[in-house]
Amino acid sequence: MKVYSVKVEEREELGSYTLLKYRWTDGSLEPGQFVMARAADYPATLDPFLARPFSFYDYDGHMASLLFEVRGRGTALLDLASTIEVTAPLGKGFRIDPSLGRAVLLGGGIGVAPLKILSRRLNAVGIPHDVFLGFADAGPAAVAREFPGARVATIDGSAGTHGTVLDAADSLEGYAAIYACGPNPMLAAVKLAAGQNSLCQLSVEERMGCGNGSCNGCVVPVRGGGYIRSCIDGPVFPAEVLAW
């Protein structure tokens, strides 16, 4: 797996999340793909030993961006770094069918990350879409300003609708395509609410050690039995594939 050393061009705080940007001109990327990233001291210090996976937040053809939350040492170092190491785009992203009608985008917590670039691509091909975002409280909900027109829900009621992202959406009927990213319980609920009448794609948030299918640490259960690796078979899956 090729690793690139890139300079952090911009860094911005969005509520409790960090948005960082770096130049990327070494190939295209698709909504829902991810990158393995870490602070650029590796391998001199082996700290952190493992890179962290992050969905691409946005890409304008020149500048790529990652949205993340500081949760441990690896993300804390990344939050402070002026230079980071990243892989090329990895995994399988969202499938976009320009012939479909109206779509809906649902994000939970840091799961909102891949929806920004997805919204950009849907706009580019003329697919109208609604965006619903769910958070624990008003802190992380500040990122919703990056999604004009999005409706917000918070578990504690401190911003937007009091409840989950599905409470903000009210109903998924009438949407030809459903795209969602967030914790597994949320994705299972979206799958149930979607029923059988829409194209429903779910981006999972499994932890990844390698990003290339070697460690089997990011497997998800599939219908019919067994598991598949979210780093190379996903992280985006058709809802009907997952055994939830």
CATH number for the domain including 207? 3.40.50.80
Residue 98 within a domain? no
Q: What is the DSSP string of 27-69?
A: S---TT-EEEEEETTTTTS--SSS-EEEEEEEE-SSEEEEEE-
pLDDT value at 42 more than 60 = no
Helix, strand, or coil here: 118?
helix
In this structure, are 58 and 124 located in the same domain? no
In this structure, are 14 and 108 located in the same domain? no
Rg from Cα positions in the chain: 17
In this structure, are 118 and 64 located in the same domain? no
pLDDT value at 164 more than 90 = yes
Residue for token pair 């969005």: 14
Q: Which residues touch 146 (CB under 8 Å, ≥6 apart)?
A: 14, 116
Residue 43 pLDDT grade (very low, low, confident, very high; cuts 50, 70, 90): low
The stretch 25-53 carries a mean pLDDT of 82
Which of these, 118, 134, 77, lies nearest to 235 by C-alpha position? 118
Residue 97 within a domain? no
In this structure, are 133 and 22 located in the same domain? no
Contact indicator for 71, 25 with CB cutoff of 8 Å:
no
Residue 136 within a domain? yes
β-sheet with 236-238: strand ranges across: 161-162, 151-154, 129-135, 103-108, 177-181, 199-203, 236-238
CA angle, 103 then 208 then 186, to 5°: 40
Which of these, 39, 33, 22, lies nearest to 89 by C-alpha position? 33
Residue 198 within a domain? yes
What pLDDT digit, counting tens, does each position of 198-211 carry? 799 999 999 898 99
Euclidean distance between CA atoms 101 and 189, whole angstroms? 23
pTM to 2 decimals? Answer: 0.94
CATH for 21: 2.40.30.10
What tokens were used for 154? 């918070």
Euclidean distance between CA atoms 153 and 112, whole angstroms? 13
The better pLDDT of the pair 219, 40 is held by 219
Domain count of the fold of the chain: 2
Contact indicator for 203, 33 with CB cutoff of 8 Å:
no
Residue 32 within a domain? yes
Residue finishing a domain among 25, 56, 87: 87
In this structure, are 112 and 232 located in the same domain? yes
Residue 50 pLDDT grade (very low, low, confident, very high; cuts 50, 70, 90): confident
Residue finishing a domain among 87, 119, 148: 87
In this structure, are 116 and 223 located in the same domain? yes
Domain span at residue 149? 103-241
pLDDT value at 44 more than 60 = no
Antiparallel, parallel or unpaired: β 227-229 and 34-39: unpaired
In this structure, are 128 and 22 located in the same domain? no
In this structure, are 75 and 152 located in the same domain? no
In this structure, are 34 and 120 located in the same domain? no
Residue 92 within a domain? no
Extended strands (E) in 175-222: 177-181, 199-203, 219-221
